[in-house]
Amino acid sequence: MKFKYLMLGLACVALSCTKTSEIDRKVDDLLSRMTLEEKIGQMNQLDYGSVNDGLIAAGKVGSVLNCVDAQKVNAMQKVAVEQSRLGIPLLVARDVIHGFHTIFPIPLGQAATFDPALVEQGARIAAVEASSYGVRWTFSPMLDIARDARWGRIAEGSGEDPYLTCLMGQAMVRGYQGDDLSKPNTMAACAKHFVGYGASEGGRDYNTANIPERVLRNVYLPPFEAAAKSGACTFMTSFNDVNGVPSTGNRWLLDDVLRGEWGWDGMIVTDWNSAGELIAHGFASNLEHAAQLSLDAGVDMDMMAYAYISNLEKLIEKGEVKQAQIDKAVRRILKLKFELGLFDNPYVDESFAGSLDYCPEHLEAARKCAVESAVLLKNEGALPIGEGKTLLVCGPLADAPADQLGTWCFDGNPEYTLTPLQALRKYYKVLYEPMLAYSRDNNVSAFPKLRTAASKADAIVLFLGEEAILSGEAHCLADLHLQGAQSELVDYAAACGKPLVLVVMAGRPLTIEEEIGLSDATLYCFHPGTMGGQAIAELISGREVPSGKLPVCFARSAGQYPLYYNRPNTGRPNTGHELLLDQIPLNAGQTSTGCQSYYLDAGYGPLYTFGYGLSYTTFDYANVKLSKTELKPSDVLKVDFDLINTGSYDADEVPMLFVQDVTGSIVRPVKELKRFNRVHLKAGQSQHIRFELPVKELAFYGINDKFALESGEFRLWVAPDAASGEAFNFKVIK
């Protein structure tokens, strides 16, 4: 039997190699027949509004983005395939970030599920819907580590942790690309933004990022390496510079690390006009220089800068770039088109386009993802609320179908959005008083009638947060408080004397400590997508139990950012003593009391740590045992424990394994996530769980800038979040 499976495996490998060899042969043949002008045309990506049949027929466009009409896609392909000299099909691309028509929670919300299988399913659904219109390339997943919620694009990634981001990125790559890229219902994934974009100074978009190489390798590069090794077809350069070198012109990042060290040979595309922005950076003197620097760095395709199409022929004539460089880039582009099956099947079935949009299976997956992404931050007995009661529903996000979808949602139709107001009416008698028209509204004229309305209700549910347009690209904020008069609305509602539930929908963590303090329960939903309203109504009623966990720390004040749980320790680590401003006596002399790492006005830690999230039930972690306390580099550490649902609700829990390298050649994080699992337990049920951690995964880039495992003392915690659990010790010996 083993021999049978071995031969089957070898046959599969042989078939894959044969297919690859055949594609290589076809690419070589086509490349040998192309003129220089046609080759450069393949390296040119244009927005749909910038193309015409003449450019396509002349072979001057390799890829088109932002066309989502099957008939128009086919019309363009007909010109490319039947009127251009060599019949090379176009590659149609689109930003499909968290769903195409059926919209899932924003990626930060998907990360809060700690459920890679569900995230993979969401990406698969997005690919199925988008590809039916001819879109075969998406600019996702975003793998930027983001530790500053002021940065609007924190919404598009998986948060602050490299390990979680690795797994979520790999899940999206698998979902988009499927098990056979040549199938017409797949899309090529694009790992972006390479690299360090989430570390932009001050949380300000497009800003510079200064990242020491060891930090770059230990924190920011691992998710991209994981995506590369998972077969992501394409990478996108980032807008920012890293240590003074813009990513689009960074040969060390693109050629030495990505292609050299990792052995990845996919296709690299710029971000929108990022080749042209080398001039604004002061890195290139003009567009011709920018084209040379981009090609030298290893960029294959130029998105909307016209740098390659306008300048590469001149650079060849001058001898400043080589024909071989262009051939390498075009080879990668053509190979991707062959792998996607575009030469054999360039057209889409127009009668099939959209036939699966918003189908029941897709909506159910979106609902489940929205349920699992919701994080219960506080509950003093206010949730769940029994069905049939009377609820006073207020707030600007209660019935905001477009804002509920979140940022980077080009193709979701708000008419299909099920809002909380609509869904709650299925289970409750609802009194609806919006009070504020939108999140930035400062008109408080309706507030006085809140008390009268509340007197008729059993509880008040306020839907707060931010509009979709307030997060995402170019939407950074210095102040993360609730916008408009939302905080005042919380004050009014709290004074009514009825149980007060806050439901916050936003694209980032907001600084809402005071508002949470006034509530009896707070449910946080990163913009939850098409089915978010249904998910929220089921969570409020108890039909579903909250299980989401925070993929980022929540700060008390925006001044605490950057803020993250896996920070390096300091020479004066905080030990719990927080000398706040109001505790300092008048005329106090200079003193060393409290000289630890914290803020006088905000204390030390976050409001809520990474992994935090409550449930309607309770869980115990018991009988934690390590397979060994002294391990060699070749060993696998087995951590066994019992997880017990000690409450009265069937529910999911996400146990996590954190590790600390106590002493290293460089200062190491106080904790690092190494494993997690989503477990469903019935009330009263217990389950034995084992985490297996190969010791080699404790390696890191140390003082000699080499990736190596260091011997010494380690601690580990099995816990529901980064601030909980009992520490257990083990050693790594060599």
Closest by alpha carbon to 202, among 417, 477, 420? 477
Q: What is the Cα–Cα distance from 434 to 259, expressed in whole angstroms?
A: 54
Q: What is the Cα–Cα distance from 710 to 694, expressed in whole angstroms?
A: 14
Q: What is the Cα–Cα distance from 501 to 160, expressed in whole angstroms?
A: 28
Give strand pairing partners of 241. 246
Strands of the sheet containing 429-433, edge to edge, are: 375-379, 521-526, 500-506, 459-465, 390-394, 429-433
The single-letter code of the amino acid at 198 is G
Q: Token digits for 459?
A: 């509880």
Q: C-alpha angle 382/385/388, rounded to 5°? A: 150
Is 215 in contact with 206 (CB distance < 8 Å)?
no
**CB proximity list for 295: less than 8 A, separation 6 or greater:** 308, 312, 315, 321, 325, 326, 329
Q: Token digits for 393?
A: 């529903």
CA atoms within 13 A on the CB side of 254: 29
**CB proximity list for 228: less than 8 A, separation 6 or greater:** 191, 235, 258, 262, 264, 266
Give strand pairing partners of 640. 625, 690
Q: Which of 271, 302, 411, 520 is catalytic?
A: 271
Q: What is the Cα–Cα distance from 339 to 337, expressed in whole angstroms?
A: 5
Q: Token digits for 66?
A: 């932002």
| 287-297 vs 323-339: helix crossing angle, rounded to 10 | 70
Q: What is the Cα–Cα distance from 105 to 372, expressed in whole angstroms?
A: 10
Residue 404 falls in which region: left (phi positive, over 0), alpha (psi -120 to 50) or beta = alpha
Neighbours of 613 (CB within 10 A): 21
Whether 271 sits among the annotated catalytic residues: the reply is: yes
Which letter does DSSP use for residue 196 in this model? T
Q: What is the Cα–Cα distance from 717 to 729, expressed in whole angstroms?
A: 9
Is 700 in contact with 707 (CB distance < 8 Å)?
yes
**CB proximity list for 481: less than 8 A, separation 6 or greater:** 487, 510, 511, 512
Q: What is the Cα–Cα distance from 240 to 507, expressed in whole angstroms?
A: 22
Give strand pairing partners of 65. 47, 93
Q: What is the Cα–Cα distance from 515 to 508, expressed in whole angstroms?
A: 16
Q: Token digits for 65?
A: 């983005």
Q: Token digits for 12?
A: 């599969």
Q: Token digits for 101?
A: 């028509």
The residues carrying an active-site annotation are 271
